[in-house]
Amino acid sequence: MDWPTSCLEVIQEEPLTVKNPKTWHHTHSYGGWGKFFQGLRESKLLATRCTNPACGEKRLFLPPRCDCVDCWHPTEWVEAPQVGTIYTHSTVTYPGELFKLPPGTPLISIEIEGVCTKLMSWLKEGKPEFGMKVKAVFNTKNPTNTILDLAWVPA
Amino acid sequence: MIKFGPGNLRIPRFERPVYLVAGGMTDFRKKYFEKNTSQLCTEALRMAVEENDLKVDAEEFRRMVNWCVYSQFADHFGDQLLAASKIHDYLGFDPLGNIEVKTGGATGGSSVLAAAQAVASGYASCVPIVGWERMDDVSTKVGNSYIASAACKDFESELGWMYAAYYALMAQRYQYENQVPHETLAKIACKNHEYAYYSPFSQNPGKYTVQDVLKNEIVSDPLTFLECCVMSVGSAVLIMCDEETAYKLSDTPIKLAAICGGTHTLRTADRRDMPILLLPNETEATYASFKGGRRREWPGFSSFLAARMAAYLAYNMAGIKDPVEDFDILETHDAFTISDIQTYEDIGLRPYGRGREFIESGECYFDGKLPTNLSGGLIGTMHAVGATGIFQIIEILWQMQGKYDKFHGNPEMWTRYGKKKPADWKSLQLKNPKRGCAISHAGTGSHVTCAILEKP
Ligand SMILES: [Zn+2]
């Protein structure tokens, strides 16, 4: 039998330090959340609401939840308003690996009327301000199939 | 779960007392290629057993151990699943039982909680708690990406791949609501870098001015590099016992009066409003004018419900009436300057909205009323994640045992790590601290533990 031919690159000898390459992908199913990402392709902002008539909360959740966090009953899809206000913002100068947005893109959290969460997203145009009114825009042409397919611009 | 029922707020109790007797650690470095992970853990354990004036030798100690708890945050970094099994073997503890605990940045605190549950219930009587993190396998950029995979990968990680950005969103909102001068935040960074300067274990010591911090490069606005925790390699080991074993091992065991945990949603976005959960030193009147009477608008992005929950349980468990009065020493999880101010409020050092007063009043300094992060904290000394919560408790334990100088002031401790003790080194040993508190914290507040140490 021959020795294997793929060798680890040596970074240094003392102590012996080598490079372990990793080049595979992970297969990831969004499961019940998939409809949300498919919705973005059609310019729809899909949230969820509990279907249990006895539920005391029935809040509108965005990101969506397949089952109600307050009673564990299934939820149904409801289109959320596509306008909101900026609750907070920050621009990351040194993002981590895998960052796909253009440098200097403001990250924002959005308050939407009737929605009980403050969705994290990004501002595609303009300079972010607290309380600034924004509207949703969607990457329908060449979707990334990630949360980045949703962005906001000044309303 | 935000409407509490009677069972939800039950105050935990230990069935028998829990003691801490000894601690050990390595120094902390950005890269530690000189030693593999099992070497680092062995070094920390050896210090705990052999350098803490225990009344038994190492061999006798080994025969007393009956359970082990392992504390590592990310299998991603170490690139070794079931790493605890390997460490357990290399420490020579097979075939004793063990458990590995994982709760992000609070892994260390949660490991101490898990060990306390074992000792308090009678399941175990002598437990080493071994924590470590190996963050030098990958570049800083990849490291930040790994850490950001501890945000929600479906709806948030893509937005930054950087935890500092998630904290910066909270920081901006906190600032919008409370207008804390950046100078006040910078003071926290200066304090912790300076205290790290007196520690041979520290990775990022330095005497900085407020101006240095303000002019430092921004990671994600408003946070500068000097206001963020370090990324470390290293290990920390704590020895926990029941009362009988504690006094067999040591003349100066310290009691773990309480350790409790709280949680909140991984996504900051999903934190729904609720009325403020009140600590023993607060009443309805404390918040009569909170946000103009909008007491329900809590915790928002400015507060950590997980920290408040942990403090609520631990304070009630240990009979704490007022943390600033009752504690003599505090270690917070100062991952970022802003989260430190938020934590001051969550654990009741000041009411919500007034956290800045804790630093501005000078109370949090060495000579103040409640010295905080004399260890140098995560900003100055270390954040080898799985070791962090353990490291904090060891630093308090040493302070309460009067061993600060032994471990920080001995020139040989400095040469051990290839450093020279600074000529202007000063002792941060407190005069007879009787009660201490350590906060271990994960995510943007996904898990928090609150530990209370007490002189018996
Ligand atoms: Zn429901």
* pLDDT, tens digit (0-9, with 9 covering 90-100), for B195-226: 999 999 999 999 999 999 999 999 999 999 99
Q: How far is CA B149 from the centre of its chain?
A: 21
Mean local confidence (pLDDT), B2-6: 85
Q: Do B160 and A95 touch (CB under 8 A)?
A: yes
Q: What is the mean pLDDT of chain A?
A: 96
The answer to whether residue A149 is domain-embedded is yes
**HSE, side-chain direction, 13 A CA sphere, residue B80:** 15
How far is ligand 1, taken at its centre, from the CA of residue B451, in Å? 35
Structural domain count of chain A: 1
Ligand 1 center from residue B203 Cα (angstroms): 48
Residues in chain A with CB shorter than 8 Å from the CB of B34 are: 15
pLDDT number for residue B295: 76
**Helix, strand, coil share (%) of chain B residues, nearest 5:** 40, 15, 45
Q: How far apart are CA B209 and CA B221, in angstroms?
A: 20
Say what the pLDDT of residue A50 is: 97
Q: For B48-60, how does the pLDDT look when each residue is reduced to its tens digit (9 = 90+)?
A: 999 999 999 999 9
Q: What are the φ/ψ torsions at residue B437 (nearest 5 degrees)?
A: -140, 140
CA of A55 to the centre of ligand 1 (A): 4
Contacts 24+ apart (CB under 8 A), B80-89: B80/B37, B83/B37, B86/B37, B86/B38, B87/B37, B87/B38, B87/B41, B87/B130, B87/B132
Q: Tell whether the model's pLDDT for residue B234 goes beyond 90.
A: yes
Best residue in A46, A98, A108, A129 for a mutation probing chain B (most B CBs within 10 Å): A98
Q: Which token pair is B306? A: 């997980």
How far away is chain A from the Cα of B411, in angstroms, using its nearest Cα? 27
Q: How far is ligand 1, taken at its centre, from the CA of residue A56, in Å?
A: 7
* pLDDT on residue A74: 97
Minimal Cα–Cα distance from B314 to chain A, Å?
27
A23 pLDDT exceeds 90? no
Cβ contact B135:B384 at 8 Å: yes
The answer as to whether A137 is a domain residue is: yes
CB contacts < 8 Å between A and B, how many? 123
Residue B3 has pLDDT above 90, yes or no: no
* Residues contacting residue B27 through CB under 8 Å, at least 6 positions apart: B200, B201, B202, B203, B234, B416, B417, B419
Name the residue of chain A whose CA is nearest to B136's CA.
A17
For chain B, percent of residues with pLDDT exceeding 90: 96
- In-domain check, residue A123: yes
Question: Which residue would you say has higher pLDDT here, A56 or B399?
Answer: B399
Find the B166 Cα to ligand 1 centroid distance in Å.
Answer: 29
Residue A96 lies in a domain: yes
pLDDT in tens, A67-88: 999 999 999 999 999 999 999 9
pLDDT at B193 > cutoff 80: yes
B148 touches chain A (CB under 8 A): yes
pLDDT at B156: 96
In this structure, whether the domain defined by B19-138+232-249 belongs to CATH 3.40.47.10 is answered with yes
B120: confidence class by pLDDT, cuts 50, 70, 90: very high
Q: How confident is the model at residue B433 (pLDDT cuts 50, 70, 90)?
A: very high
Reported pTM: 0.97
Taking CA atoms, A39 is separated from A67, B284, B289, in Å, by 19, 45, 43
Domain annotation covers residue A124: yes
Question: Per 3-state DSSP, what percentage of chain A is helix, strand, and coil (rounded to 5)?
Answer: 10, 35, 55
Within a 10 A sphere around the Cβ of B96, how many other Cβ atoms?
Answer: 15
A46: left (phi over 0), alpha (psi -120 to 50) or beta: beta
- Rounded to a whole number, what is the distance in Å from the CA of A41 to chain B's nearest CA? 16
| Inter-chain touch B162–A92, beta carbons under 8 Å | yes
Find the mean pLDDT for residues B282-310. Answer: 91
Average pLDDT rounded to a whole number, residues B114-123: 98
Please check whether residue B179 touches A, CB under 8 A: no
Task: Quickly name the fold that domain B258-454 has.
Answer: Peroxisomal Thiolase; Chain A, domain 1 (3.40.47)
- The residue type found at B324 is V
> Residue ranges per domain, chain B?
19-138+232-249, 258-454
Q: Cα B272 to chain center, whole Å?
A: 26
Domain that holds residue A63: 31-154
pLDDT confidence of residue B1: 63
Please provide residue B161's backbone torsions phi and psi, each rounded to the nearest 5 degrees: 45, 45
